[in-house]
Amino acid sequence: MSKVAVKNIVAEDPNCVAPNLRKDHDKGLELLKYLVLGTLFGIVFVKAEIISWFRIQEMFRLQSFHMYGVIGSAVVTGMISVQLIKRLNIKTIHGESIVIPDKVFKKGQVIGGFIFGLGWAITGACPGPLFAQIGSGYTVILVTLISALAGTWVYGKFADKLPN
């Protein structure tokens, strides 16, 4: 593998949604905090019934406020938090300045977004709930997850041939 090929994910794809901008690596036990955070997140997904296929149907049929309330209040909370971090210049627990990369507009956000929307209504799940559904014992969703991995792989394979 050439040195050029193995790049930082951010350098390669500025549009990546979850880049890791921490300068030094998280090692060993340090990584456990993300496991704990994910666990809390998974509990919320189940307890607020966000993993339910029915809740997603209610949302797209405009027959319940629940999912709009969840996503809307999550966005507002996130927005206030990001503003506070920026204005108070809050640093990470390691003393680094917090960096939020700008997303660049691409046609993919329209085409890919639309395709994801179709799949979201069929499966009743975005990627997060998929993991929580499997953990909850709906083991057949493993097949959906493998298909989602296949979809991701096929996108990666043809990424440079698709309009972007």
Min dist CB 50 to another protein, Å, is 7
Count how many residues are written for the chain.
Answer: 164
In angstroms, the CA 122 to CA 163 distance is 25
Q: Report residue 92 as tokens.
A: 């990470």
Half-sphere exposure of 148 (CA within 13 A, CB side): 17
Structure-block tokens of residue 102: 């700008």
* Residue 56 Cα distances to 109, 118, 139, 159, angstroms: 21, 12, 19, 29
Distances (CA, A) of 147 to 70, 120, 142: 27, 13, 9
Q: Which helix (H) or strand (E) holds 108?
A: helix 107-123
Is-contact 163 111, C-beta < 8 A? yes
